[in-house]
C-alpha cells in the first residue's frame, strides 16, 4: 500500500492514526536476501529516490538489490558502480532501460511507464576535467529527479575567463542553483557564489597534491569562504549535491 493510499484511508475515516503509522512503518522497508534492508518509501517521503551505494558490495548483492527494487518500483540508481556490477545487472534483468555512465561510475535503471515531470533547471560547473566524474554523479541524480542540467566543465580559477560564458548561460536560463565541483584548493565555488544570484552548492573533490590530497584542502577552503550563499557537501559527494539541487529546483518551480 502506498503512502497516498494510507493517507486516503485516514481521510475517509477507514483507519485511525495508529493503524496508519503501523502501515507506513511496514511500507518503509523491504528485506532483500540476508544482507539488505531497503527503504522503498524514501522518495515518497522526502522526494529523493533511494540510491544503491555499490562500493563495498559484491556484484551479486548489487544485482539482487537492483532486481528486487526494479520489480517493485520500476527504477533505481547505483552509485560507485563497477563494470562487474553492470554485467551482473544485465545478466539478471536484461538491458532494457539500463543506462551505464562509466565515467561517473553510475548505473540508472528506469522502467517507469510515467517519467517525473520536469521540475526546473540546475547548473553544474567543474574547476578541472579531473572533477568531472563527481560532477556527472551530481548531474545524473538531478536528471533522475526531473531536472534539466546545464553543464560547464574545466572553468577553474587558473583560467578564470573560461567561467564567464557558461555562468552567463546558466543565469540566463534561470537555473535554481549551481553545483560547483572543485579539487586542489577549491576556490571556484567562492568565486561563483560571489557572482551568481542563486544558491551555490560546493563539492570538494579528492584531487590535488600534498596537503590538498584527499580533498581536505578544497573542503577547508569552501567551508572558510566569505561568499554568502555557498553551502558545502562532503568530499566527492556528488549524489548529495545533485539531490539537494533538485529539491531546490522543485521548490522554486512549485
Q: Are residues 127 and 248 in the same domain?
A: yes
In sequence order, what are the beta bridge partners of 31? 37
Q: How many domains does the chain have?
A: 2
Range of the domain at 88: 3-110
Write out pLDDT tens, residues 183-196.
888 899 999 999 99
Look up the CATH number of the domain holding residue 148: 3.40.50.1970
* 167 located within any domain: yes
Find the helix packing angle between 17-28 and 3-11, rounded to 10°: 170
pTM, rounded to two decimals: 0.78
First to last CA, the chain: 26
Judge whether 36 and 61 are in contact, CB under 8 Å.
yes
Write out pLDDT tens, residues 26-77.
555 555 555 555 565 556 555 677 788 888 889 998 888 888 888 877 788 8
Q: Are residues 98 and 144 in the same domain?
A: no
Of 87, 110, 133, which residue is a domain's last?
A: 110
Q: How confident is the model at residue 80 (pLDDT cuts 50, 70, 90)?
A: very high
* 115 located within any domain: no
Q: Are residues 127 and 240 in the same domain?
A: yes
Q: Are residues 58 and 143 in the same domain?
A: no
Average pLDDT of span 147-161: 89
Q: Are residues 27 and 65 in the same domain?
A: yes
Average pLDDT of span 238-251: 91
Amino acid at each position: 500500500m502506498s503512502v497516498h493510499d494510507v493517507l486516503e484511508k485516514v481521510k475517509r475515516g477507514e483507519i485511525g492514526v495508529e493503524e496508519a503509522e503501523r502501515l507506513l512503518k511496514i511500507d518503509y522497508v523491504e528485506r532483500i536476501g540476508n544482507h539488505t534492508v531497503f527503504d522503498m518509501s524514501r522518495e515518497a517521503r522526502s522526494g529523493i529516490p533511494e540510491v544503491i551505494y555499490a562500493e563495498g558490495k559484491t556484484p551479486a548483492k548489487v544485482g539482487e538489490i537492483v532486481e528486487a527494487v526494479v520489480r517493485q518500483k520500476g527504477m533505481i540508481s547505483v552509485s560507485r558502480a563497477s563494470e562487474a556490477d553492470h554485467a551482473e545487472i544485465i545478466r539478471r534483468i536484461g538491458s532494457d532501460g539500463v543506462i551505464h555512465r562509466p565515467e561517473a561510475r553510475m548505473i540508472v535503471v528506469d522502467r517507469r511507464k510515467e517519467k517525473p515531470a520536469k521540475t526546473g533547471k540546475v547548473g553544474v560547473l567543474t574547476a578541472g576535467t579531473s572533477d568531472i566524474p563527481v560532477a556527472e554523479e551530481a548531474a545524473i541524480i538531478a536528471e533522475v529527479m526531473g531536472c534539466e542540467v546545464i553543464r560547464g566543465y574545466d572553468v577553474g580559477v587558473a583560467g578564470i575567463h573560461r567561467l564567464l560564458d557558461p555562468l552567463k548561460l546558466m543565469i540566463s536560463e534561470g537555473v535554481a542553483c549551481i553545483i560547483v565541483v572543485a579539487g586542489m584548493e577549491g576556490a571556484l565555488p567562492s568565486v561563483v557564489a560571489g557572482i551568481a544570484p542563486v544558491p551555490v552548492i560546493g563539492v570538494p573533490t579528492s584531487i590535488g597534491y600534498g596537503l590538498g590530497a584527499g580533498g581536505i584542502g578544497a573542503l577547508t577552503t569552501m567551508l572558510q569562504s566569505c561568499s554568502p550563499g555557498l553551502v558545502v557537501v562532503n568530499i566527492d559527494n556528488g549524489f548529495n549535491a545533485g539531490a539537494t539541487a533538485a529539491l531546490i529546483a522543485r521548490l522554486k518551480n512549485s
